[in-house]
């Protein structure tokens, strides 16, 4: 026995001990060294552009920082947050934000599903309809606001002129000037701009449903409604949940468009949380209270993002055989009653239709087994109703662009005297000439291009390698970093306004284009990283394994395999980043004061003086600002849609 133990000890002593790197790989993961080399540039940029400003904003919220100086005031603990609980302005803005978000998120998913179904079932011109209905979503948010401000104009606006022509009103309605209608008016704008997002995501969901399911259901006697309820709705549930949560966060963050439309008025009727934050910090110079306002809803955003992360990563977890995420298990009890409510509504609707059908059968003397109308007649009626609904939706989404075009080519005399309202007589370039000759429009355009290109380069280059580390390499901590990336991607932009302003003052970059070039990537970097992570995951791992077997190292695999295969995603991310920088309003509004450094968004907004709104110049400017984005989208529609549906929705 002793001899056996001695032999075992000798054998164990003879086995080589794992060296330091092997031991670290056992703890930190087999790819940890190369993973951190890839992820380090992204992490550094993320800390500099997002982490530091966020920490600075949190600290400011616990201080009494007031006045126009950049010096941080004394520490006051939770006093700023306690004061908000008794702040009438804050409570009012919170309630307005809740109403704005709730009603927008009721109408956008419903209209989006309807539009997606109508387009999906259209045999001809499907691609054209998809591209056309997506226009309101891809044009800059500043253009969206300027268009609808012109449409809502009580004297020169298209809406009032149509109502007057139809004799539905005798006097123009002050859509944005009446506290009773202003909030609903801005909700309509948000719905108009948001429906295309739901449409394109639901189209992607509809394409993923196996057509054989519909065929089998039809053979079993299911009608169109039953196929929709029991096949279509469950089939698009994932994309609907993710799109709704994304849209909810975006809607709660949406204050730039509202500010351009109403500046929070009239009588603070549209002053959402974002606008109150701006007013408290940059008008009242109470940066501590402003920071507290911007952060007080962060736990709500955090919970939504936490749940959203579970859904967006659900496919990956399932592939790895993991159990259902704790977030999904937590929200399931709250979601089930909503599902039951919809089931009851559907059941009640089916029962009501059944009663109506029974009544009609008795009137026309048909038995219960006979259909109310024939199959051919039913197809004709359904086709007619679908066509009418599709026409109405397309008109709702595209009619504002018609108004932009015809107004941009009118003379001031034609606009002011209200003749030939819906068609220029004659067509004129006077608005374009006035815009170019009387303003610094060309300078603003050049500034916007410069800032967008540089900010996009920083965001995309800084994210490509980091996304590879998070999606393809095995190392401890990548799950936390992936969640952190999603959190920064979805973080409310209003949270960053005050700390970025303070940091730019300290860096002496205020009122310079360099301030925007440094600040804009704070939103672009996490966005680009997240989309690229989604696309990288879609590349078969067998290809990478084969390259490694052939002797390629990780860097060679990344540069010679992953990047070439990811050209569509890189193109899509670049285009999305460019349009995001092109659209940005509020950061430029607080960082730039000189006309020579204005971007297009700020320059056009500054042309509005009080109630004086140069309609003609604004419409030609909106057209010139939107055209580059539309051209970019037209040239790369397939890549942009693919990047959106794979990276942003499927995660």
Distance between terminal CA atoms of the chain? Answer: 60
Q: What is the pLDDT of residue 87?
A: 92
pLDDT value of residue 318? 38
What is the structure's pLDDT at 78? 92
Q: Taking all residues of the chain, what is their mean pLDDT, rounded to a whole number? A: 81
Name the burial class of residue 5, with classes exposed (0-12), middle (13-18) and buried (19+) by CB atoms within 10 angstroms of its CB: exposed
Question: Which pLDDT does position 5 carry in this prediction?
Answer: 56
Taking the C-alpha atoms of residue 471 and residue 532, their distance in angstroms, rounded to an integer, is 9
- Measuring CA to CA, which residue among 106, 115, 193 is closest to residue 148? 193
| 12 confidence band (pLDDT: 50, 70, 90) | very low
Residue 122 has pLDDT above 70, yes or no: yes
Of the candidates 509, 487, 483, the residue with the CA atom closest to the CA atom of residue 592: 509
Q: How many helices (H) and strands (E) does the chain have?
A: 37, 0
- Is omega for the bond preceding 311 within 30 degrees of 0, making it cis? no
pLDDT at residue 317, as a whole number: 40
Q: Tell me which residue of 148, 142, 84, 519 sits closest to 276, measured CA to CA.
A: 84
3-state secondary structure of 75: strand
Q: pLDDT tens, 335-370?
A: 677 777 777 877 787 788 778 777 777 777 676 666
Checking if the pLDDT of 328 tops 70, the result is no
Rounded to whole angstroms, how far apart are CA atoms 139 and 382? 33
- Other CB atoms within a 10 A radius of the CB of residue 595 amount to 13
Q: Report how far residue 636's alpha carbon sits from residue 265's, in angstroms, rounded to the nearest whole number.
A: 39
What are 80's two structure tokens? 């700023």
Taking the C-alpha atoms of residue 187 and residue 598, their distance in angstroms, rounded to an integer, is 28
Asked if residues 527 and 338 have their Cβ atoms less than 8 Å apart, the reply is: no
Most confident range, picked from 186-200, 579-593, 634-648: 186-200
Share of the chain above pLDDT 70, in %: 88
pLDDT on residue 647? 45
Q: Grade residue 636 by pLDDT with cuts at 50, 70 and 90.
A: low
**Residue in 106, 103, 42 with CA at minimum distance from that of residue 489:** 42
Q: Which tokens sit at 68? A: 């126009």
Chain centroid offset of residue 419 CA = 39
Contact at 8 Å (CB) between 150 and 619? yes
- The CATH number assigned to the domain with range 39-58+78-312+373-417+431-649 reads 1.10.3720.10
- Distant-in-sequence, close-in-space partners of 268: CB < 8 Å, separation ≥ 6: 89, 92, 93
pTM of the complete model: 0.84
**Helix spans in 473-520 (H):** 478-490, 493-506, 513-519
> Which band of pLDDT confidence, cut at 50, 70 and 90, is reported for residue 90?
very high
Residue 651: its pLDDT value, please? 38
Cβ contacts of 606 within 8 Å, gap of 6 or more? 595, 598
pLDDT of residue 648: 44
* Residue closest to 225 by CA, chosen among 353, 363, 318: 353
Task: Return the residue matching tokens 């007031």.
Answer: 66
Listed residue (144, 140, 141, 172) closest to 159, CA to CA: 172
Query: Which token pair is 310?
Result: 């579970």
Summarize pLDDT for 367-418 with one digit per residue, the tens: 666 666 666 776 777 778 888 888 888 899 899 999 999 999 999 888 888 7
Residue 505: predicted pLDDT: 85
| φ, ψ dihedrals at 614, nearest 5° | -70, 90
CA-closest candidate to residue 343, choices 257, 451, 260, 234 = 234
Determine the Cα–Cα distance for residues 516 and 448; give it in Å rounded to an integer: 10
- Supply the pLDDT for residue 587: 86
127: closest CA among 236, 191, 200? 200
């Amino acid at each position: 026995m002793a001899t056996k133990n001695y032999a075992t000890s000798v054998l164990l002593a003879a086995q080589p001990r794992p060296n330091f790197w092997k031991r670290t790989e056992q703890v930190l993961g087999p790819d940890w060294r190369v993973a951190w080399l890839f992820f380090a540039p992204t992490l550094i940029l993320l800390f500099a552009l997002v982490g530091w400003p966020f920490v600075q904003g949190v600290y400011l919220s616990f201080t009494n920082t007031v006045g126009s100086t950049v010096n941080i005031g004394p520490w006051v603990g939770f006093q700023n947050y306690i004061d908000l609980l008794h702040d009438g302005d804050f409570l009012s803005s919170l309630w307005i934000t809740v109403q704005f978000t709730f009603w927008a998120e009721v109408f956008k998913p419903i209209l989006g599903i309807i539009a997606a179904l109508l387009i999906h079932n259209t045999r001809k011109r499907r691609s054209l309809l998809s591209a056309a209905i997506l226009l309101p979503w891809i044009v800059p948010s500043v253009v969206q606001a300027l268009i609808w401000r012109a449409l809502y104009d009580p004297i020169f606006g298209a809406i009032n002129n149509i109502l007057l022509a139809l004799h539905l009103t005798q006097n123009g309605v002050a859509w944005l000037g009446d506290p009773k209608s202003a909030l609903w008016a801005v909700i309509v704008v948000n719905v108009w701009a948001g429906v295309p997002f739901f449409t394109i995501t639901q189209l992607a969901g509809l394409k993923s449903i196996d057509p054989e399911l519909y065929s089998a259901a039809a053979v079993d006697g299911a009608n169109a409604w039953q196929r929709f309820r029991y096949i279509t709705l469950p089939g698009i549930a994932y994309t609907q949940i993710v799109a709704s949560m994304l849209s909810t966060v975006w809607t709660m963050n949406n204050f730039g468009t509202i500010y351009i439309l109403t500046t929070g008025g009239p009588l603070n009727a549209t002053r959402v949380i974002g606008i109150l934050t701006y007013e408290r910090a940059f008008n009242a110079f109470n940066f501590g209270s402003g920071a507290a306002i911007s952060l007080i809803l962060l736990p709500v955003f955090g919970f939504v993002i936490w749940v959203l992360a579970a859904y967006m990563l659900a496919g990956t977890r399932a592939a790895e055989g993991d159990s259902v995420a704790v977030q999904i298990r937590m929200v399931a009890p709250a979601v089930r009653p909503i599902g039951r409510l919809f089931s009851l509504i559907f059941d009640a609707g089916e029962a009501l239709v059944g009663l109506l059908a029974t009544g009609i059968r008795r009137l026309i003397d048909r038995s219960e087994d006979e259909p109310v109308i024939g199959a051919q007649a039913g197809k004709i009626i359904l086709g007619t109703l679908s066509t009418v609904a599709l026409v109405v939706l397309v008109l709702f989404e595209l009619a504002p662009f018609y108004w932009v075009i015809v107004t941009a080519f009118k003379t001031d005399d034609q606009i002011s005297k209200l003749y030939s309202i819906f068609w220029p007589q004659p067509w004129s370039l006077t608005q374009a000439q006035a815009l170019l000759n009387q303003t610094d429009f060309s300078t603003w355009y050049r500034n916007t291009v410069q800032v967008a290109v540089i900010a996009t380069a920083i965001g995309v280059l800084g994210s490509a390698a980091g996304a590879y580390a998070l999606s393809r390499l095995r190392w401890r901590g990548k799950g936390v970093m992936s969640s952190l990336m999603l959190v920064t991607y979805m973080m409310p932009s209003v949270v960053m306004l005050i700390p970025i302003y303070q940091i730019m003052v300290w860096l002496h970059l205020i009122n310079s284009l360099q301030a925007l070039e440094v600040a804009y990537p704070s939103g672009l970097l996490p966005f680009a990283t997240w989309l690229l992570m989604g696309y990288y995951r879609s590349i078969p791992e067998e290809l990478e394994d084969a390259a490694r077997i052939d002797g390629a190292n990780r860097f060679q695999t990344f540069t010679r395999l992953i990047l070439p295969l990811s050209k569509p995603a890189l193109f899509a991310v670049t285009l999305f980043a460019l349009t995001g920088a092109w659209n940005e309003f509020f950061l430029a509004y607080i960082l730039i004061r000189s006309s020579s450094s204005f971007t297009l968004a700020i320059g056009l907004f500054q042309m509005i003086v009080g109630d004086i709104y140069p309609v003609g110049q604004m419409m030609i400017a909106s057209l010139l600002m939107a055209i580059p984005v539309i051209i970019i989208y037209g040239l790369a529609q397939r890549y942009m849609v693919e990047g959106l549906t794979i990276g942003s929705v499927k995660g």
